[in-house]
A and B are shown apart, each in its own frame.
Chain A
């Protein structure tokens, strides 16, 4: 895709609506906006998945697209994740730019072979003759009492495969810019949407009132086209006491805990796990000398293991304490003990106390 982002006409308008007010969107609206902008700009972009067409998706991320772009560009599919991904690969081979949705990340596994053995390796095995410029969107993560089949965080099953990018936004502003960048990327991208923060920046304090996006600064979403480059982390807060590496929902949880504890830290929202913004990670860890990794996914072979290894390999002589990993437990996601499972403020707090006392 040619780079037209710098043309004046394409410059993002300021984050204001026609009345001069900030244009504030929640995550669902921002994703919808990104799809709309992408479909408007390039008629090779097609959107499909279970309940995606007429109804607009069970989370409403594709609402209105069928009406606007027609049934050949936004449509429902049979309940076959294998078929959805495979069809996307075939469309990509033709030259389209498909954006399939998998209704829940927990249901991506029937399509896993098509993702790992096919999409991720197509460029390599055909020496660039064929590519899979597809973006697979899927809500992931827990915190909605979804039980073990509506809560999983399977990102490391994808980061472990070569040839596929993994992107996870944490704010409406980023969701839009990252999704547009993912769609315009010529490699296959897994785009996991933390569904717990679709409607508000949940901070892990499940027994307090839920905040709304509309008061959060990162919910100001400009109209029109803008991209956030894949492979670039975002510095959420700056501080010298430690570095927190995290993504998705856990960005907000970590931030809230650090604020409560009055700890000043670099929080890096990784945004893209593969390719990783190693430069930002190294820079921060070398500055603070302490590193904490937070993710909701199970611990063993989670993406935190990769991060920990990288930090150890590249920042060892700057580290003042062992790297801390805060994660979900190595069990399926339980229904009623959801908050005992979730790596919330208590787990993060204990790890912080330990890390800062080393």
Chain B
């Protein structure tokens, strides 16, 4: 063997090394899932430093868990954002819409209407409640699981469905995988399939805003698994060096496809505590507590907006469904985890809070859920008039060559013409829709 390892003789009886490979507590078929080892501090018990504080003052919060909503369904402590019931109902409405949307689109994929879908079930608060704490023109750089941001910003569902179906109404011209939205109008950056690339880009946008003495800030979302990418660490370094007006939201939903958070370094340290080494402000938040999510994001937004520096926030939550329509989680995790999750469901928690406040009831909830489902159904039917992916190609072939460059160079012109000839050969009677 030319390259065999040359192990030196262990003459002085040194200890033998062994490799640590993380292992989650539960795998399929686990007898009983017990999450009691996860520390869930009392709601309201976490201190809230001033938004303009030194980063160090937040570092205790990097291993704590900011919680507002208690088991009594009431808001507690200094992080209570004291939102008006009207705003809370709006939040609840966004929750209902996202959940109904996810259900229907997932089913649509199963029915062959499109190629792919991803739900955000259980994590709704981390995108809806957070983005409601931002200004509508703050720039967001999302990952693929932030449909909640778009919906909270009022992006029309029908546009989302057109994109998911890659149909003739898709303003991204059927080019992108379903859910890879983009809306400049909603200050929502084009989603990339390549993990974590958006994180340092958000920092760059925020730096530009600072260069131009603008007032807008940037926020970005990244999965806990994706924080292993170098891009995330570049983002932290740039954010720290330039004190960029940016919020780095890390969504720790415990899983990255089949890999639990231990494979991103979550066994040895919290994701929020990454902030400590980079000298960033850091917060660790109950991601299933909509009020805490709102409050933390608002704190970070106010901090950024007053030139007081960037913040890294870990939202501690749980991916209640599979990674995507291509995934079957029963192959790698226990199905009981979802129910055993100690932080509950964000939709239920917000609903119960409003009921506790006397501002809501189950009947209105049922009616709202029904309306949400009907709205999604109606918009789906409407979008289907523009076609579904399962039924063929809805974009003219020439669109394939547009936007590669601003102008079409000669070689793309030639290929464009070639594609038209090929179309006429293959489909002499027209392309089927």
> Which residues on A are within 8 Å of B, measured CB to CB?
1-2, 42, 44, 50-51, 53-55, 58, 71-72, 75-83, 92, 94-97, 106-107, 109-110, 131, 133, 145-150, 186, 299-300, 329-332, 334-337, 339-341, 346-347, 349-350
Interface contact B422-A346, CB-CB below 8 Å: yes
**In the complex, are the beta carbons of A336 and B265 less than 8 A apart?**
no
Residues in B166-185 with C-beta less than 8 Å from chain A = 166-167, 170, 173-178, 180
A150 interface neighbour in B193, B264, B394, Cβ under 8 Å: B193
Q: Count the A-B residue pairs with Cβ separation under 8 angstroms: how many?
A: 167
What are 13 A-B interface contacts by the 8 Å CB criterion? A2-B1, A55-B331, A72-B18, A78-B228, A78-B265, A79-B225, A79-B256, A94-B5, A148-B193, A332-B404, A336-B394, A347-B422, A350-B421
A340 in contact with B193 given A2-B1, A76-B259 (CB within 8 Å): no
Partner of B176, one of A1, A71, A147: A147
Q: Which residues of B contact A95 (CB under 8 A)?
A: 3-6
- B195 part of interface (Cβ distance < 8 Å): yes
Q: Helix, strand, loop or mixed for chain A's interface?
A: loop
A332 proximity list for chain B (CB < 8 A):
175, 404
Q: How far is the CA of A148 from the CA of B389 in the complex (A)?
A: 16
- What residues of chain A lie closer than 8 Å to B421, measured between beta carbons? 350
Q: Is B257 an interface residue (CB 8 A)?
A: yes
A77 to B394 Cα, complex, angstroms: 40
Instruction: List 17 additional contacts besides A148-B177, A330-B415, A340-B419; criterion CB under 8 Å.
Output: A51-B259, A55-B331, A78-B228, A80-B230, A81-B229, A95-B5, A96-B5, A131-B3, A145-B389, A147-B193, A149-B192, A336-B166, A336-B167, A336-B393, A340-B397, A347-B418, A350-B425
Q: Given A50-B257, A145-B389, A330-B404, decide whether A186 and B411 contact each other with a Cβ distance below 8 A.
A: no
In the complex, whether B423 has a CB less than 8 A from a CB of chain A is yes
B130 lies within 8 A of chain A by Cβ: no
Q: Does A335 contact B393, Cβ atoms closer than 8 Å?
A: no
| A334 engages B400 (CB within 8 Å) | yes
Q: How far is the CB of B154 from chain A (nearest CB, A)?
A: 26
Given the complex, which residues of A lie within 8 Å of B180, measured CB to CB? 147
B394 with A58: CB separation less than 8 A: no
B129 on interface, CB distance cutoff 8 Å? no
User: Is B360 in the interface zone, CB < 8 Å from A?
Assistant: no
- B residues whose Cβ falls under 8 Å from a Cβ of A: 1-6, 18-19, 21-23, 27, 115-116, 166-167, 170, 173-178, 180, 192-196, 225-226, 228-231, 256-259, 263-265, 326, 331-332, 389, 393-395, 397, 399-401, 404, 411-412, 415, 418-419, 421-423, 425-426
Taking a contact as CB atoms under 8 Å apart, the answer to whether B27 and A339 are in contact is no
What is the bound-complex CA distance between A51 and B323, given in angstroms?
Answer: 12
Q: Is the beta-carbon distance between A50 and B259 smaller than 8 angstroms? A: yes
B116 cross-chain contacts in A, Cβ below 8 A: 145
Tell me if A76 and B1 are in contact (CB < 8 A): no
In the complex, what distance in Å separates the CA atom of A42 from the CA atom of B3? 12
Nearest to A340 among chain B residues (CB) is B397
What are the residues of chain A within 8 A of B399 when measuring CB–CB?
337
Query: Which residue of the partner chain B has the closest CB to A103?
Result: B257
**Contact assessment for B174 and A337 in the assembled complex, using a CB-CB cutoff below 8 Å:** yes
Q: Nearest-CB distance from B1 to chain A (Å)?
A: 6
Distance in angstroms from B223 CB to nearest chain A CB is 8
CA distance A71 to B194 in the complex (A): 28
B115 partner, pick from A2, A42, A335, A337, beta carbons under 8 A: A335
**Given A329-B415, A350-B421: A106 in contact with B174 (beta carbons within 8 A):** no
B401, closest chain A residue (CB): A331
Task: Check B228–A51 contact: CB distance below 8 A.
Answer: no
B226 touches A340 (CB 8 A): no
Q: Which 7 A-B pairs have the closest CB atoms?
A: A149-B193, A95-B5, A336-B174, A147-B177, A78-B228, A336-B166, A55-B258
State the Cβ distance, A343 to closest chain B Cβ, in Å.
Answer: 10
B192: chain A residues within 8 A (beta carbon): 149
Instruction: Determine the chain B residues whose CB is within 8 A of the CB of A336 once the complex forms.
Output: 166-167, 170, 174-175, 389, 393-395
* Contact yes or no, B423 A340, CB < 8 A: yes
Distance between A294 CB and nearest chain B CB, rounded to angstroms: 15
CA distance A82 to B229 in the complex (A): 8
Q: Which residues of A contact B259 (CB under 8 A)?
A: 50-51, 76, 79
Given contacts A72-B19, A330-B412, A334-B400, contact A79 B177 (CB under 8 A): no
Smallest CB–CB gap between B132 and chain A, Å?
29
The docked-state distance in angstroms from the alpha carbon of A337 to that of B415 is: 14
- Does B3 contact A340, Cβ atoms closer than 8 Å? no
Query: B166 contacts A350, CB within 8 Å?
Result: no
Q: Which residues of chain B have C-beta atoms less than 8 A from A329's C-beta?
A: 400-401, 412, 415, 419
Complex CA–CA separation, A133 to B256 (angstroms): 29
Beta-carbon contact of B258 and A346 below 8 Å = no
The interface centre, meaning the residue of A53, A77, A334 with most chain B CB atoms within 10 A of its CB, is A334
B258 and A339: CB pair below 8 A?
no
Contact call A331/B174, Cβ cutoff below 8 A: no
Q: A109–B193 Cα gap in the complex (Å)?
A: 13
Which chain B residue shows the least CB distance to A329?
A: B415
Residues of A close to B19: CB separation below 8 A: 71-72
A91 CB to closest chain B CB (Å) equals: 9
Residue of B with least CB distance to A46? B19
Which residues of the other chain, B, contact A349 by a CB distance below 8 angstroms?
A: 425
Contact for B21 among A72, A82, A147, A335, CB less than 8 A: A72
Using Cβ atoms and an 8 Å threshold, which residues of chain B touch A107?
194-195
Q: A5 to nearest B CB, angstroms?
A: 14
User: For residue B263, which residues in chain A have a CB less than 8 angstroms away from its CB?
Assistant: 76-79
Chain B positions within 8 Å of A80 at CB level: 228-230
Which of B21, B116, B331, B401 has the most chain A CB atoms inside 10 A of its CB? Answer: B21
Q: Given the complex, which residues of A lie within 8 Å of B229, measured CB to CB?
A: 79-82, 110
Q: Measured between C-beta atoms, what is the minimum distance from B391 to chain A in Å?
A: 10
